[in-house]
Amino acid sequence: MARVKNWQLGREMSYWYPESRPQKQFAAVFDTNKCIACQTCTLACKTTWTSGKGQEYMLWNNVETKPYGSYPLAWDLNLLSLLDGQNWGEEDGKPVYKGSTIFESAPAGERVMAWRPDEEDYAYPNVGEDDCAGGIEHGASIEIPHQMAWFYYLARICNHCTYPACLASCPRGSIYKRPEDGIVLVDQGRCRGYQECVRGCPYKKVFFNPMTATSEKCIACYPKIEQGLSPQCFANCIGKIRMAGFINTPDKAQADNPIDYLVHIKKVALPLYPQFGLEPNVYYIPPIHVPTAFTKQMFGPGVDKAVEVYRNAPNDQDLTSLLGLFGSTEAIVRKWKRVGEKAIGMDENGKELVDVPFKEPVHIRPAYDKLHQITRTNCP
Amino acid sequence: MRSITSLLILILCFASACKRAQIPTAEVNVAQVKEITLDPNAPVWEAVSLHLSKMIPQDLVEPRLMEPSTPEVQVKAITNGSEIAFRIEWVDETQNDLPGPKHFIDGCAIQLPAKIDPNVPAPQMGEVGKTVEISFWRADWQAIVEGRADTINALYPNASIDHYPSEAKPLEGDPKALEEAGLRYAPARALGNRRAGPRDQPVEDLIAEGPSTISPAPDAISKGKGVRTAKGWAVVITRPLPAGFSAATPSQVAFAIWEGSHNEVGARKMRTGWVPLIMK
């Protein structure tokens, strides 16, 4: 194994291949506080990519209710129970992961620490949907605040990791990471369906197609990315919880890059299970109403800070401005700036794509239309 | 009475001699016959000498097989002078021929050096500059060749599907449009991945120059047929006689077995080292 730098862990770690970062890395920020689990993203992906034979059960995008929801069943709990000592420490005021990653914990004969889902584990797209973490006593449901009666929605796609475990697991090198944008793909001409990637991916975002006997996964809608457009699950998100873009390493963070600003500068968006060691590139603004003992295990030690920053967004015009750009255009916003009380989204050349005011103007339509001399009603 | 006793003794001696003929040989002896066969149950195999290969887990490269499974494989071989046929039999209580998530397929393979040379390739899938040729039989391909339909219901009989866009109403009656639409949702087939499509042979020809390098051979030269026995599988794989192989010039052969119910796939397999291959 090689030694590579994983900035999310604050240290070097072991990986199957030497460090080789792409020219730019596809990344995304999901705001869990805005997701309503309408599954429009899931359907947008499903109808675009996985409507074929053998793909019936595949959900390259899914939304699950946490703490119980999961697809495939218990994808995260099963691995967390295998991974020992997920402790974080601090060095020079920065968090450092003191535990072992799935690469460092690999048992003899394996490339990664992992487990294989049973066929039945794919039978429940979101078991535990809308089940909250604690019981609600009679009458408590109308009292605020609820104590421990929380749940939230976790939308998931492939994380297009910097250190993909699927890629490391494939014994014949059928999985590759595109140098131009860091998107991780299964070469469908080379795959021989060993399912090692299905086993190896801790996020369980590679699926075996029994009709073609090959494994398939989220492709980040790369034909759209190549045209500067957001993937389908982003463009169709009615909650506008997602922003697509490209991320730099912390030492090269650019304040006018929306993803860099949210992840590196404001530190309001965090990786999913960073302790696995893959340096995943989908970042989550953690739910602000969930006990942080839970979210810290899921998003790492930065949760308290992220929640504080997010709660303070009404007093932070820049952050408010950028959050308003989420879902404002299908184009990928490569740069942004705030002008007064307006957010401007731009392409990589600085050309304006969209502008979004902090507050949408309110138009009051009189009940009586003088022009047409008719009273309007709201009834159809 | 004495003559009857003598006859019985003679019969017993003959039977004993026949049994001795089946004592396994240390090498794979290729018997010359008029016609080779794909049928594992054909009478021609009865008179052919038996080789018993002890198997070892693939434990050189990750992912390894950490728990041994199939302990040995019985091998017989015949040739008609232009083609060679191997009959491979092993014990496997479970029939695994349905692909799916965490479903793995029973299979076997024979491996030959691409060139007969005293400096043989590494037995574990060859090495750079020393190619090996592999003929790979799989139980799911056998089922497909024997008529299992190319449908999801053939794999999941209770599956209920409302609609496939690739079979939309406007495409009906236009076979070319249907085929194109089907390929749109089956990229492995669209790319011509031989692993992915419907098959007319249960055997695939491959070449390799070491672990991780296996790739389709330029030509499909092997045929095969596998049947269930009382205890497992019996498979016949035929292919052209290796170039230069003769009674004066022996070669080597190696075998691998995948036990599907033991999650064996790809590198997770039982294998042998090189076994001498000798023309009788």
Distance from CA of B105 to the nearest CA of A (A): 10
Residue B120 and residue B219 in one domain: yes
A160: in domain: yes
In A, minimum Cα distance to B195 occurs at: A192
Axis-axis angle for helices A292-299, A303-311 (nearest 10): 110
Give the three-class secondary structure for A197. helix
B16: in domain: no
A contact test, residue of B102, B164, B215 with most A CBs within 10 A: B102
Q: Is A302 on the interface with B (CB under 8 A)?
A: no
Counting residues of chain B whose pLDDT is more than 90, the rounded percentage is: 88
Cβ(B178)–Cβ(B166) below 8 Å: yes
Distance from CA of A215 to the nearest CA of B (A): 9
Please measure the distance between the N-terminal and C-terminal CA atoms of chain A and give it in whole angstroms: 67
pLDDT higher for B272 or B212?
Answer: B272
Q: Is A212 on the interface with B (CB under 8 A)?
A: yes
Query: Does residue B4 have a pLDDT over 70?
Result: no
Residue B102 and residue B177 in one domain: no
Partners of residue A124 in chain B, C-beta under 8 Å = none
Partners of residue B164 in chain A, C-beta under 8 Å = 51-53
Nearest by CB to B188, which of A108, A171, A212? A212
Residue B190 and residue B233 in one domain: no
Domain around A181: 2-135+147-310
Query: Are B266 and A118 an interchain contact pair (Cβ–Cβ within 8 Å)?
Result: no
Partners of residue B182 in chain A, C-beta under 8 Å = 52-53
Phi first, then psi, for residue B263 (nearest 5°) are 60, 35
Bond prior to A145 in cis (omega within 30° of 0): yes
Distance from CA of B190 to the nearest CA of A (A): 9
Residue B55 and residue B183 in one domain: no
Residue B132 and residue B216 in one domain: yes
Rounded distance, CA B246 to CA B84, Å? Answer: 11
Which residues fall within 8 angstroms of residue A182, CB to CB, at 6 or more apart? A21, A22, A24, A25, A26, A160, A162, A281
What is the C-alpha radius of gyration for chain A, rounded to an integer number of angstroms? 22
A67: in domain: yes
Domain around B210: 24-150+200-279
Partners of residue A53 in chain B, C-beta under 8 Å = 151-152, 164, 166, 182, 185-186
Nearest by CB to A111, which of B62, B103, B140? B62
pLDDT, position B198: 87
B205: in domain: yes
In B, minimum Cα distance to A49 occurs at: B185
Partners of residue A55 in chain B, C-beta under 8 Å = 185
Residue B119 and residue B186 in one domain: no
Query: Distances from the Cα of A301 to the Cαs of A79, A259, A274, A305, in angstroms?
Result: 19, 19, 10, 9
A140: in domain: no
Please measure the distance between the N-terminal and C-terminal CA atoms of chain B and give it in whole angstroms: 43
- CB contacts < 8 A (A, B): 128
pLDDT, position A132: 83
Is the torsion defined by CA of A248, A253, A256, A262 positive or negative?
A: positive
A167: in domain: yes
B220: in domain: yes
Residue B262 and residue B158 in one domain: no
Write down the ipTM of this complex: 0.91
B267: in domain: yes
B178: in domain: yes
Count how many domains chain B has: 2
Query: Cβ–Cβ contacts within 10 Å for residue A26, how many?
Result: 26
B108: in domain: yes
Cβ(A194)–Cβ(A173) below 8 Å: no
Nearest by CB to A189, which of B185, B191, B263? B191
Amino acid at B242: P
Residue B135 and residue B255 in one domain: yes
Exposure letters A210-231 (e unless 16+ CB within 10 A, then b): bbbbbbbbbbbbbebbeeebbb
In A, minimum Cα distance to B197 occurs at: A212
A377: in domain: no
Partners of residue B59 in chain A, C-beta under 8 Å = 109
A16: in domain: yes
Q: Write the DSSP assignment of A79-97 as a string of letters.
A: HHHHS----EEEETTEEEE
Rounded distance, CA B5 to CA B11, Å? Answer: 10
Residue B77 and residue B184 in one domain: no
- At B12, the pLDDT band (50, 70, 90 cuts) reads very low
Closest Cα partner for A8 from A33, A30, A27, A31?
A: A27
* Contacting A residues, span 50-89, partner chain B, CB-CB under 8 Å: 50-56
B217: in domain: yes
Rounded distance, CA B253 to CA B133, Å? Answer: 10
Residue B263 and residue B205 in one domain: yes
- At B13, the pLDDT band (50, 70, 90 cuts) reads very low
Phi first, then psi, for residue B105 (nearest 5°) are -110, 140
Query: Are A189 and B64 an interchain contact pair (Cβ–Cβ within 8 Å)?
Result: no
Distance from CA of A114 to the nearest CA of B (A): 12
Query: Are B213 and A53 an interchain contact pair (Cβ–Cβ within 8 Å)?
Result: no
The token pair that represents A13 in the structure block: 């770690």
Closest Cα partner for A300 from A332, A269, A341, A254?
A: A269
pLDDT, position A127: 87
Select from B134, B169, B197 the last residue of a domain: B197
Residue B177 and residue B224 in one domain: no
B138: in domain: yes
Beta bridge mates, B30 = B77, B279
Residue B46 and residue B94 in one domain: yes
Tell me, what CATH number does A18's domain have? 3.30.70.20
What is the C-alpha radius of gyration for chain B, rounded to an integer number of angstroms? 22
In B, minimum Cα distance to A198 occurs at: B101
Rounded distance, CA A209 to CA A52, Å? Answer: 10
- At B62, the pLDDT band (50, 70, 90 cuts) reads very high
pLDDT higher for A179 or B13?
Answer: A179
Select from B197, B230, B254 the last residue of a domain: B197
A324: in domain: no
pLDDT, position A307: 98
In B, minimum Cα distance to A53 occurs at: B152
Query: Are B164 and A192 an interchain contact pair (Cβ–Cβ within 8 Å)?
Result: no
Question: What is the DSSP pairing of strand A242-247 with strand B223-228?
Answer: unpaired
Select from B180, B197, B214 the last residue of a domain: B197
Residues in chain A where the model's pLDDT stays below 50: none
Partners of residue B101 in chain A, C-beta under 8 Å = 117-119, 122, 195, 198, 207-208, 210
Cα angle value A343/A345/A347 (rounded, 5°): 165
A331: in domain: no
Task: Report the run of H or E that residue B276 belongs to, with start and end.
Answer: strand B275-279
Query: Are B193 and A212 an interchain contact pair (Cβ–Cβ within 8 Å)?
Result: yes
Tell me, what CATH number does B82's domain have? 2.60.40.1190
Query: Does residue B257 have a pLDDT over 80?
Result: yes
Query: Are A211 and B150 an interchain contact pair (Cβ–Cβ within 8 Å)?
Result: yes
Count how many domains chain A has: 1
Query: Are B266 and A53 an interchain contact pair (Cβ–Cβ within 8 Å)?
Result: no
Q: Is A193 on the interface with B (CB under 8 A)?
A: yes
